[in-house]
Structure 1
Amino acid sequence: MKKIILSALLFLPLFLLSACGTALPGEEVMQNLVNRSADLESYHQFVALTTTTTKEDLNGVTAVNEQYTTADATLFPEEKTGYGKRIDKNSDYPATKSEFYVTPEVGYNRTDDGDWTAYATPDVPLASLQVYPLETFIELSQIIEEYGTLELEGDEYLLSFSGSDDAMNKEINYLFQTLPSEQTDYEIAIRLDAETFYLTAFSYHSTVTRADQKTIVTTELTGEFDLYDQAKKLKTVPDFDAVDTTAETADSSF
Structure 2
Amino acid sequence: MKKIILSALLLPLFLLSACATALPGEEVLQNLINRSADLESYHQFVAFRTTTTKEDLNGVTTVNEQYTTADATLFPEEKTGYGKRIDKNNPYPATKSEFYVTPEVGYVRTDDADWTAYATPDVPLASLQVYPLETFIELSQIIEEYGTLELKGDEYLLSFSGSDDALNKELNYLFQTLPTEKTDYEITIHLDAESFYLTDFRYRSTAIHPDQKTTVTTELTGEFDLYDQAQKLKPVPDFDAADTTAATTDSSF
Match of 1:22 in 2: 21
**1:189-236 CA deviation, whole Å, 9 max, x = no partner?**
000000000000000000000011000000010000000000012344
For 1:72 and 1:218, how far apart are their aligned partners in 2?
23
1:113 maps to 112
Distance of 1:132 and 1:249 partners within structure 2: 20
Partner of 1:67: 66
- The residue that corresponds to 2:40 in the other structure is 41
The total of aligned residue pairs comes to: 236
Q: Deviations over 1:21-44 (max 9, x none)?
A: 100000000000000000000000
- State whether residues 235 and 250 of structure 1, in contact with CA within 8 Å, keep that contact through their aligned partners in structure 2: no
Larger radius of gyration: 2
TM-score by length of 1: 0.90
Aligned-pair RMSD on alpha carbons? 1.3
What is the aligned partner in structure 2 of residue 195 from structure 1? Answer: 194
Letter in structure 1 aligned against 2:77: E
The offset of 1:243, in angstroms, is 4.9
Question: Matched residues in 1 for 2:242 and 2:248: separation?
Answer: 18
CA distance in 2 between counterparts of 1:120 and 1:27 reads 41
Determine if the alignment matches structure 1 residue 186 to structure 2 residue 185. yes
Quote the offset at 1:45 in angstroms. 0.2
Partner of 2:88 in structure 1? 89
- Which amino acid letter does the alignment assign opposite residue 165 of structure 1? D
Bigger Cα displacement from structure 2, 232-241 vs 63-72: 232-241
With over 3 angstroms needed to count, the CA separation of the structure-2 counterparts of 1:130 and 1:98, relative to structure 1, is same
The answer for the alignment partner of 1:76 in structure 2 is: 75
The answer (yes or no) to whether the contact 1:85–1:100 under 8 Å persists in 2 is yes
| Letter of the 1:127 counterpart | A
> Could you list the runs of 5+ residues in structure 2 that have no partner in the other structure?
1-17
1:141-220 mapped onto 2 (5 Å cutoff):
141-220=140-219
For structure 1, the 5+ residue unaligned runs are 1-18
TM-score normalised to structure 2 length = 0.91
